Every structure is written in C-alpha cells, then in structure tokens.
Amino acid sequence: MDSLFDFFTAPYTTAAPSDILLELTGAVFGIISVLFAKREHIWVYPTGLVSTGIYTFVCFQFALYGDLLINVYYTLMSVYGWVVWSKTTGGNPLSISRCDAKDWRKVALIFGSTSVLVTAVYRYSGRFHQMTDYFDTLTTGIFFAGMWLMANKKLENWGFWMVGNAISIPLYFVKGLGFSGIQFAVFLFLAYQGQQQWKARLDQKLPDA
C-alpha cells in the first residue's frame, strides 16, 4: 500500500501547490462536463472549456504535446458543439442518432489525419522515442474522433471515450499526473453510463418495428 501511495504522490513532491490545484481543478471540471454530457445538457461545453483551457496549460508545462493538441482541439470542438447543440431545425434541437457510412468515413479521416499530425509533432520535437508517445498518438486520434461524434450527437461517441479512457488511466499515472489518471477512471465509468442513457433515449424516439 505504501509503494502504491508513493507511486501516486512522488511526481507531486517537487510540484508547486498552485500547479497541483490547477490540475485538480481541471479534473473536477472535466468530470462535471461529462456529467452534463450524460444528461445531453448543453452545459457540457462551457464546463468543458474550463477544463480544456486548464489542461492546455498543464500539458504545455509537462511537454505533453499530444495531450496539448487534444485539449486545443477540445476547446475548438467545444465551441463548435456548443453552436451545433444550440441550433434548432423546425423548432427542434439536434437529436441523438447513430453513425451512417458517411459519418464513419469522416471518423476514419479524423483519426488518420490526427495520428499523422501527432507523429509529425513528436518527431519534430525529438520526443517520439518513448512508449507513452505511441499511446499518445493512439489516444489523440481516438479522442479527436470521439469529440467530433459527441458534437454531432452520435451515440457511438461513448464507445470511443471508453476505449480512450481505458488506455489513458495507466498512461497518465506513468506520466506523473495522478489526479488526471483518477479522472480518466471516473470518465470510463461515466462513459459507460452515458452510452446506456443515450441509447435508451434513442430507442424511445425510434418508431416501433
């Protein structure tokens, strides 16, 4: 138990209290944002913007360029999602739906181009030599695609979040960001719940066969 505690706390022994508080605040707002996403509530975006803004700064401090790109993209997509969720068609807001073939092609394009971009950034910065860098590339592609899917209220977004979160839990502990690792564990649980809630809402709206 002591060794586990030391593993969690060791990266924070040299960190300033303000940096620890900043990471913790970003994690809390991230969790709040996912809670709103589960409820299909538009406040997922303003609370998410607080979290991504904080994490953009934290990732820059730790030279986590893949994660920094994720949070910059999250920030932009949060603005996009906020606008899309605010719009109405015939007086009705955007509804939850499943991906069609066109959506999957877009997802593949987002994942592929993101992976290439992150690889190029790491190679340019001379950092593409650790195992965590390869996982960063993978999770960045997964989260970029998941964020686009959520902004368009596609049910499949939750599957992407679950896979990405499961990979990120140990990854962030290895990076020395223990609070973030715990955050992703909570995210994994909430993503499963979110998938079930969105699926139930979608099933209620579909006509009987």
Higher confidence at residue 151 or residue 6? 151
Question: Coil, strand, or helix at residue 154?
Answer: strand
Name the β-bridge partners of 69: none
Q: What does the pLDDT look like over 87-124, one tens digit per residue?
A: 876 678 889 999 999 999 999 999 999 888 888 877 77
Half-sphere exposure of 95 (CA within 13 A, CB side): 14
Q: Please say if the pLDDT value at position 86 is more than 70.
A: yes
Instruction: Please say whether the beta carbons of 167 and 132 come within 8 A.
Output: no
**Per-residue pLDDT averaged across 65-93, rounded?**
82
Q: Please say if the pLDDT value at position 7 is more than 80.
A: no
Q: What does the pLDDT look like over 132-182, one tens digit per residue?
A: 777 888 888 999 999 999 999 999 999 999 999 999 998 888 777 777 788
User: What is the domain partition of the chain in residue ranges?
Assistant: 2-86+96-205
pLDDT in the model for residue 10: 58
Query: According to the per-residue pLDDT averaged within each range, which of 19-28, 29-38, 52-61, 117-126 is highest?
Result: 29-38
Share of residues in the chain with pLDDT > 90 (%) = 41
